[in-house]
């Protein structure tokens, strides 16, 4: 097992083995129970790696900026934060180019009933479902990361230049419209 300190933020019931899993929901039995919309309960430079899947989209964009700045504070120099979040551009692309596929994805993997079964309904719900507050496209997310001292490099499903960050992703192209970033902590 790696001796690196690795923190998984907004872990929910899908906890990563060997990582410090953090969530607000006590029922998911995280190692650390904390509200991540405020400051994060970790010391400066105390983590090597961080991971967060389908959490940052639950925050307002101002909240996400504060969250990313906190991740920057906690990561040691050279540390990396992996972020998965729905991709607005991919959701829009599928709505325009593959409406049937988008509805099928929703029915198969989300399963929440639809009033009309249309792609437009799925697009609307996709923006708001399950606490979604702000859905990023790659450019918006990359710019926000820059403001918080990160170089956000686009990756693909389960791929990373960092071995410990490979194979952790739950959501792939078959069952989601996720995008994948390894955010390298820059010196500021
Ligand atoms: C959509 S779930 C994602 C869970 C898991 N990462 C996954 O990919 O399946 C979002 C998680 O964020 C947690 N969460 C939402 N708001 C939070 C907050 N303010 N502080 C800490 N955790 C929060 C929820 O309890 C939930 O477990």
Ligand 1 atom 27: the closest Cα is on which residue?
Answer: 12
Q: Where are the domains of the chain?
A: 6-86+136-185, 88-133
Q: Which pTM value belongs to this model?
A: 0.96
What is the structure's pLDDT at 1? 56
Domain 6-86+136-185 = CATH 3.40.50.150: yes
> Which of 23, 40, 41 to mutate for ligand 1's pocket (most ligand atoms within 8 Å of CB)?
23
How would you write the pLDDT of the chain (188 residues) with one tens digit per residue? 578 999 999 999 999 999 999 999 999 999 999 999 989 999 999 999 999 999 999 999 999 999 999 999 999 999 999 999 999 999 999 999 999 999 999 999 999 999 999 999 999 999 999 899 999 999 999 999 999 999 999 999 999 999 999 999 999 999 999 999 999 999 87
Ligand 1 midpoint to CA 86 (Å): 14
With a Cβ cut-off of 6 Å, ligand 1 is lined by 10-12, 14, 23-25, 28, 35-37, 53-55, 58, 130, 170
**CA-to-CA dists, residue 71 to 40, 85, 99, 136, angstroms:** 8, 16, 37, 18
Atom of ligand 1 nearest to the CA of 12: 27
């Amino acid at each position: 097992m790696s001796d690196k300190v690795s923190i998984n933020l907004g872990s929910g019931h899908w906890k990563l083995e060997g990582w410090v899993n953090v969530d607000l929901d006590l029922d998911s039995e995280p190692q650390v129970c904390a509200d991540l919309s405020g400051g994060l309960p970790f010391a400066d430079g105390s983590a090597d790696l961080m991971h967060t899947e389908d959490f940052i989209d639950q925050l307002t964009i101002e909240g996400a900026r504060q969250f990313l700045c906190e991740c920057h504070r906690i990561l040691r120099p050279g540390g990396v934060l992996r972020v998965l979040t729905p991709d607005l551009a991919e959701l829009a692309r599928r709505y325009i180019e593959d409406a049937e596929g988008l509805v099928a994805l929703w029915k198969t993997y989300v399963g929440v009933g639809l009033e009309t079964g249309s792609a437009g309904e799925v697009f609307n719900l996709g923006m708001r479902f399950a606490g979604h507050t702000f859905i990023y496209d790659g450019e918006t997310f990359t710019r926000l990361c820059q403001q918080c001292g990160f170089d956000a490099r686009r990756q693909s499903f389960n791929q990373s230049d960092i071995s410990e960050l490979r194979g952790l992703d739950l959501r792939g192209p078959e069952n989601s419209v996720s995008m994948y970033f390894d955010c390298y902590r820059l010196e500021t």
